Chain A
Amino acid sequence: MSATETISTIEGAGAAFAHQSLRFTLLMREIEDRIERKLYRQGKILGGVYVGRGQEAISVGATLMAEPGDMLYPSHRDMAAFLVRGVSPGRIFAQYMGRAAGLTRGRDGNMHMGDMNLRIGAIISALAATVPVAAGSALAMKYLGMPNVTICWFGEGSTSLGHWHEGMNFASVQKLPVVWICNNNQYAYSTPMSAQMACVNVADRGAAYGIPAEIVDGNDVFAVSAAAKRAIDHARAGNGPYLLECKTFRMTGHSAHDNADYVPPALFDEWSKLDPITRLESRMIAEKWASREEIDGIHAAIVKEVDEAVQWAENCPFPDPATLLEDVYESE
């Protein structure tokens, strides 16, 4: 039974959904903590590391609402999209360690990965360049009469690029089945929202393109999934694109080398009280969907799963340099 099958029947509520959400938010948190706070510092991770700590509810809540055939374009803070679609933690570690078993076979690193078999598109590093691409995938869905939608995530800072505006407008004019999800974590590298745009909300931009837009509590997986469901239903019904602005906070530096000393410490304090995993667990206990002991058991199981995944990845070989020239083009 795949995650997505279970969830579409219960429509974003109930114990089963909560348990699924807990698993994937915790797994993402544990994998990223391990990468950022341990493996990176041990020099086992190559290149930059960008994590979505505190933002896990957004990729989890939305991906759980998608059908397996829906196309996903996660941003660099949406690792759970891969987990929900069944990518093993081991392969994710291998990706970050530059091993041949990573999703990009060592050709690219960190969240720069994708797999068309899972209908997940790899990030274009140039921010928002994925937005018109997502519009194109939605165009194909309409063209081919597929019952599917495309979901595309991006940060609030990415909405400053021309690509973003072109993609939004095009998708709206063509009434394409695409759901835009903004992870508004209030910073883009060192740049706060106020220096990024003169409007108060990213959702305000929807009106300019005739796209319905909603502001969502991005740290509440129930709120995210309910909004994602509305947005997906809207797009799937042929009503065109829909924009969700998930308000959240980047609980880390921009990347592992950035200590975020430009962020007022009070903001971290304030947002740590809104941690999506803590909130989910409290709700589960309050609703009697799980006991504290049960939840502790889930934590322990995930730590063990991640331990094993790290070990598996560390034993994976690096790519053979003899493969350097392969796959620039289709081979004969």
Chain B
Amino acid sequence: MVATYIEAIRQGLWEEMERDPNVFLIGEDIGVYGGAFKVTAGFHEKFGDRRVVDTPISEAAIAGAAIGASLMGLRPVAEMQFADFITCAFDQIVNFAAKCRYRWGAAVPIVIRAPSGGGVHGGPFHSQNPEMWFVRTPGLKVVAPATAYDAKGLIKSAIRDNDPVLFFEHKGLYRRIKEELPAEEYCVPIGKARVAREGRDLSIITYGAMVWTALSAAEQLAAEGIEAEVIDLRTLLPLDREAVCSSVKKTSKALLLHEDTRTGGMAGELAVTITESVFDYLDGPVVRVTAPDTPVPFSQTLEEAFLPNAGHVVEKARWLHRY
């Protein structure tokens, strides 16, 4: 059956709730209303108040309650209405959930779903990519699927995982992409990248919505005879360093791409990973294409200038190819 990205997340949640009675949903307006983006539309009807918990506007309570319930053996899936408001739950996630296992051996099997990303004229508070706030917190897992297939497979793995998982779903992909999903059940393992496109000349390493930007750049480059490989990280923490390095070993050139802002972005970690492990294979500098170091602007002219696009990637890739 063909499913959009948002439908794939719904399916994953639905199947896990049917499979395991301890899985439940918690968040704002997720019940009868079905959530701000309608990810959970129909869930309340099927699973009822007990398993679809509508909360007051209280992100700290949502995250904290999810943690507390998970300590008792439940498997909560919490929704942030927008990833941006995860700031209100920061302490619970970073100071408590992330450190429970290490401090006192307690498992915190929670999932926090966070609709993130720009390109929707959301402005500074409804467009951010806050993944790196969490990627630098040991004890958390951070997932950012790019495809419908991975969105479904990864939400299922996230729910089954015995550690806290942050699930960044890109708002811009919800209804923009679709694909045929297998009829039979499947999971996608956390911590494994995938080759989204094979190529020999350079590696574009990215995640989330930027995978599509990379693929469209790769197509343009192919028309010029440059074969780019596209690596979709899928999970940011733990990072699949092996997949990154083996692609760079093959192509000898790395272009890192993310929608998140530049300083302290994923590209920094990837660059060091590459130079530490496969420096001798490199035939050029490791380069990056990212959003600039500004808040996400609202107006279309500014946001267009802010977001990385295929044109930027093609230009940088040509330069790197010639190097």
Given A106-B301, A162-B60, A321-B305, A112:B125 Cβ within 8 A: yes
Q: How far is the CA of A233 from the CA of B122 in the complex (A)?
A: 39
B contacts, CB < 8 Å to A:
28-29, 32-33, 36, 54, 56-61, 81, 84-85, 87-88, 120-126, 292-295, 297-302, 304-306
Residues of B close to A157: CB separation below 8 A: 56-57
Given A126-B84, A126-B125, A190-B32, A320:B58 Cβ within 8 A: no
Residues of A close to B87: CB separation below 8 A: 126
Given A126-B85, A189-B33, A324:B125 Cβ within 8 A: no
Q: Is the CB of B294 within 8 A of A191?
A: no
Q: Name the prevailing secondary structure of the B interface residues.
A: loop
Residue from the list B28, B121, B126, B306 in contact with A98, Cβ < 8 A: B121
Residues of A close to B122: CB separation below 8 A: 47-48
Residues of A close to B306: CB separation below 8 A: 324
**A144 at the binding interface (Cβ < 8 Å):** no
A contacts, CB < 8 Å to B:
46-48, 98-100, 104, 106-109, 112, 124-127, 129, 157-158, 160-163, 188-191, 195-197, 262, 318-321, 323-325, 328
**Could you list some 20 contacts between A and B, CB below 8 A?**
A46-B298, A47-B120, A106-B298, A106-B301, A106-B302, A107-B295, A107-B299, A109-B123, A112-B124, A162-B60, A163-B88, A190-B33, A191-B29, A191-B57, A196-B57, A197-B56, A262-B33, A318-B301, A319-B297, A324-B306
Q: Is the CB of A107 within 8 A of B300?
A: no
| Distance (whole angstroms) from the CB of B302 to the closest CB of chain A | 5
Q: Is the CB of B123 within 8 A of A328?
A: no
Q: Is the CB of A319 within 8 A of B301?
A: yes
Residues of B close to A161: CB separation below 8 A: 57-60, 88
Given A48-B126, A191-B28, A328:B299 Cβ within 8 A: no
Residues of B close to A162: CB separation below 8 A: 58, 60, 88
Q: Is the CB of A107 within 8 A of B124?
A: yes
Residues of B close to A197: CB separation below 8 A: 56
Residues of A close to B301: CB separation below 8 A: 98, 106, 318-321
| Distance (whole angstroms) from the CB of B245 to the closest CB of chain A | 33
Beyond A109-B123, A160-B61, list 12 extra A-B contacts (CB 8 Å): A47-B126, A98-B299, A106-B298, A108-B123, A108-B124, A160-B58, A161-B57, A163-B88, A190-B29, A319-B301, A321-B304, A328-B295
| Distance (whole angstroms) from the CB of A38 to the closest CB of chain B | 18
Q: How far is the CA of A19 from the CA of B302 in the complex (A)?
A: 41
Q: Which 5 residue pairs across A and B have the least CB separation, nearest first? A: A106-B299, A125-B125, A98-B299, A160-B56, A190-B33
- Residue on A nearest B56 in the bound complex, by CB: A160
Q: How far is the CA of A4 from the CA of B64 in the complex (A)?
A: 45
Q: Is the CB of A318 within 8 A of B56?
A: no
- Residue on B nearest A158 in the bound complex, by CB: B57
Q: How far is the CA of A320 from the CA of B299 in the complex (A)?
A: 10
Residues of B close to A189: CB separation below 8 A: 28-29, 33, 36, 81
Residues of A close to B299: CB separation below 8 A: 46, 98-100, 106-107, 109, 318-319
Residues of A close to B302: CB separation below 8 A: 106-107, 319, 321, 323-324
Residues of B close to A98: CB separation below 8 A: 121, 298-301
| Distance (whole angstroms) from the CB of B312 to the closest CB of chain A | 13
- Residue on A nearest B60 in the bound complex, by CB: A162
Residues of B close to A108: CB separation below 8 A: 123-125, 297-298
- Residue on A nearest B31 in the bound complex, by CB: A190
| Distance (whole angstroms) from the CB of B115 to the closest CB of chain A | 14
Q: How far is the CA of A106 from the CA of B122 in the complex (A)?
A: 12
Q: How far is the CA of A16 from the CA of B21 in the complex (A)?
A: 64
Q: Is the CB of A109 within 8 A of B29?
A: no
- Residue on B nearest A191 in the bound complex, by CB: B29
- Residue on A nearest B87 in the bound complex, by CB: A126
Residue from the list B61, B126, B297, B300 in contact with A324, Cβ < 8 A: B297
Q: Is the CB of A46 within 8 A of B126?
A: no
Q: Is the CB of B297 within 8 A of A107?
A: yes
Given A48-B126, A189-B33, A107:B298 Cβ within 8 A: yes
| Distance (whole angstroms) from the CB of B153 to the closest CB of chain A | 30
- Residue on A nearest B124 in the bound complex, by CB: A108
Q: Is the CB of B298 within 8 A of A47?
A: yes
Q: Is the CB of A104 within 8 A of B57?
A: no
